[in-house]
Amino acid sequence: MEIALCTCEGKVKRKDLEEIGNAHIFDKLCQDKPGRNFDMIGCSHPSLRSAGRILLDLNNLAFLKQKDAVEKVKIILKAYSELLKVNISFIEAEVDESLLVKTDDIDLVSMLSKHFEPLYVLTDNTSIAEIAVAIKGELKSISGKIGNFTVKMDGIDLRTGRKIDSIKVSQVIIPGIDDFREGIFSSEIHAIEAIYNRDGFVKVNPITYRRERCAVSFNSVHGCKLCRCPYGFISHRENVIVDVIGCVGCGLCTSLCPTDALSSEIFPRDIVLRMIDIMAEYRKEKTLLFACRNAIAEAYGGGKVESFFPVIVPCINSLSEVEILYPLLKGFNGVYILPCNCPHGDFEGVKRGIEIAGAFGIDNIVIKEDFDSGWIKRLNNLKPVSSDFKLHSSGKRDQLVEMLSWMSENLTPIQEKLSFNDFGMAKVSDSCTLCNTCSNVCITRAVRKENGKLEFKHGLCINCSLCMIFCPERAMKIETGLYLEGINNDRILKKEKMIKCPRCKKEHISESEYRKISALTGHRIFTLYCDDCKPIIVFEGLYKEITGEEDEQNR
């Protein structure tokens, strides 16, 4: 791994940087271009964006602010090197030369008119009507995605006097707008990006969808609808449909998906957990700082602060309860969450993590939009929940169940149940015949039929209700909520004597199911045979009928 570090014109001692090892050291990295590309650069100056795959402001985060700076930088570099393992893919969108901009600056409009046609301008400046479609009025809404926005407005064309209610454009520039969608820019200085996009928009694919892990539907019947998008770029049909072009990459949908059917390509969850593992190698007091990339600058500045390790994520929305709870079990004294003031700030995964921690009397997590070093000190003075916890599973729900099981066994819950809508508790009535329907439709294997028993594991149930919908006897009921005790235990919902196949002796059907099927079909003997043996029995009967073998034996 190739690393470039900087002394910031002597603010950091060169001998300290030399201790890092395997690093190229500069004195003015942001001014004296390195002349080559690096895997990681210890400076986040915009001029270095094309020179490194990963940019970190290590001088502000560690050397200028914390004790044990050299040891911490080694750990941070090791942790962030995990991001180099991420395999990214790209997606494209067609963009034409139409643009809407809100401005009274005729010089800016004159420049933009050389690149965009048609060019719509929301303005009070009547002179702009000579070089563009000047509209005086009020913007109401913007829907769609880059390359195909529909802009609703209450406006008048300043040249023709025609009323304008709606226009179609590929890109929009509205100073001060709180909208993070691709192709919508909040400042005139981003006009150069709009010009660049005219030849076609390219972005990193933010989301991967795996149908085989999804419980959105079964045989056209809808089940799970837990994932959602603040901008409506997700829809639930036979599959979950993600508009990846419109996606802003906030990651809310991935944090809400319990089965990893939706996962982030930008900052994968397994990478976050590995980074936490590496940062936990620092054995003294420490706080994990989850910071939005748009808010991390809040943690910069002069003066010393207590010990923290930063994990900079694309958006705090992308964090689920798994990432929030995991640092506490890995030896961190506390977790500090630093979001920006983005309009899609749901942060449900963070809220769930805090609620679970609170149910066990843990108050080592804070979320604040302003960085307060005093909170770092307070968190570092708290007792760690654990330091030797190890995850053995890889799936998101399995990991959460593993953590909750450990917490239930080692801590005392002060709440019995949490009102989480992605957990369910199953019960069955006496009308259950132990057929295979519920176990066949359960994507998480929370419901299983084995050896004459219908078993249920509460921790794996995502409350999709498919088992209840498809149950032919209407025997299955699901109660919403997370029960903290025994979350990983197998519960026996129904137990019944099983009938053996006369041919292979395998137990395959319960007595009640046998009575039901034989009564419906009138085939009392044939129903005794298992599905594997039935075709053989039919073939043997046909063979005997054709060859007359049975008659010969009977004579």
pLDDT at 555: 38
| In contact, 174 and 184? CB cutoff 8 Å | yes
pLDDT at 190 over 80: yes
Greater confidence (172 vs 522) lies with 172
Angstrom distance (rounded) from CA 314 to CA 91:
18
Angstrom distance (rounded) from CA 240 to CA 326:
28
Mean pLDDT value of segment 182-202: 91
pLDDT at 552: 44
If asked whether residues 309 and 430 sit together in one domain, one would say: no
- Closest Cα partner for 215 from 469, 458, 492, 449? 469
Would 419 be classed as within a structural domain? no
| In contact, 263 and 397? CB cutoff 8 Å | no
If asked whether residues 307 and 216 sit together in one domain, one would say: no
In sequence order, the 6+-apart residues with CB closer than 8 A to the CB of 280 are 327, 330, 331, 332, 387
pLDDT at 543 over 90: no
pLDDT digits (tens, 9 = 90+) for 299-315: 886 667 788 999 999 99
Instruction: Tell whether the torsion through CA atoms of 492, 493, 496 and 500 is positive or negative.
Output: negative
Angstrom distance (rounded) from CA 246 to CA 182:
6
- Closest Cα partner for 289 from 236, 354, 333, 246? 333
Return the H-helix or E-strand segment holding 469. Answer: helix 466-470
Boundary-marking domain end, from 414, 443, 474: 414
Three-state SS annotation for 378-400? HHHCCCCCCCCCCCCCCCHHHHH
If asked whether residues 299 and 379 sit together in one domain, one would say: yes
Mean pLDDT value of segment 478-493: 94
If asked whether residues 346 and 453 sit together in one domain, one would say: no
Indicate the number of domains in the chain.
Answer: 6
- Closest Cα partner for 383 from 351, 411, 355, 415? 411
pLDDT digits (tens, 9 = 90+) for 6-18: 998 888 889 989 8
Lowest average pLDDT, out of 147-161, 180-194, 330-344, 511-525, goes to 511-525
Boundary-marking domain end, from 31, 60, 86: 86
Burial class (CB in 10 A: 0-12, 13-18, 19+), 452: middle
pLDDT at 361 over 80: yes
pLDDT at 551 over 60: no
If asked whether residues 467 and 477 sit together in one domain, one would say: yes
- Beta-strand ranges (E) seen in 158-258 are 163-169, 171-173, 184-185, 201-204, 207-209, 217-218, 221-222, 234-236, 240-242
How far, in Å, are 270, 357, 410 from residue 322 at the CA level?
Answer: 11, 11, 18
Beta bridge partners of 427: 477
Task: Give the three-class secondary structure for 328.
Answer: helix
Angstrom distance (rounded) from CA 78 to CA 85:
12
pLDDT digits (tens, 9 = 90+) for 9-43: 888 889 989 898 888 999 998 887 778 889 999 99
pLDDT digits (tens, 9 = 90+) for 382-419: 999 998 899 999 999 999 999 999 999 999 999 999 99
> Looking at residue 135, which CATH number applies to its domain?
3.50.50
Would 258 be classed as within a structural domain? yes
If asked whether residues 448 and 521 sit together in one domain, one would say: no
The single residue listed with the structure tokens 């809404």 is: 141
Confidence of residue 141 (pLDDT cuts 50, 70, 90): very high
Angstrom distance (rounded) from CA 390 to CA 469:
37
If asked whether residues 17 and 65 sit together in one domain, one would say: yes
pLDDT at 387: 87
If asked whether residues 405 and 330 sit together in one domain, one would say: yes
pLDDT at 178: 83
If asked whether residues 50 and 109 sit together in one domain, one would say: no
pLDDT at 194: 94
Mean pLDDT value of segment 87-105: 93
Note down the domain range covering 26. 1-86
Lowest average pLDDT, out of 232-236, 313-317, 505-509, goes to 505-509
Mean pLDDT value of segment 166-177: 96
pLDDT at 553: 41
Strands 424-428 and 476-480, by their bridges, are antiparallel
User: Using omega within 30 degrees of 0 as the cis cutoff, is the peptide bond preceding 206 cis?
Assistant: no
Strands 23-26 and 38-41, by their bridges, are unpaired
pLDDT at 31: 85
Count of helices and strands (H, E) across the chain = 16, 32
Mean pLDDT value of segment 237-263: 93
If asked whether residues 335 and 409 sit together in one domain, one would say: yes
Mean pLDDT value of segment 219-247: 92
pLDDT at 508: 79
Boundary-marking domain end, from 86, 102, 136: 86
- Closest Cα partner for 382 from 354, 401, 400, 362? 362
Confidence of residue 333 (pLDDT cuts 50, 70, 90): very high
Task: Give the three-class secondary structure for 190.
Answer: helix
- For 19-58, b where at least 16 C-beta lie within 10 A, e where not — what string? ebeebebbeebbeeebeeebbbbbbbeeebeebbebbbbb
> Looking at residue 472, which CATH number applies to its domain?
3.30.70.3270
Mean pLDDT value of segment 470-485: 95
If asked whether residues 279 and 402 sit together in one domain, one would say: yes
Q: What rounded mean pLDDT belongs to the chain?
A: 91
pTM score: 0.83
How far, in Å, are 49, 262, 399 from residue 396 at the CA level?
Answer: 33, 11, 5
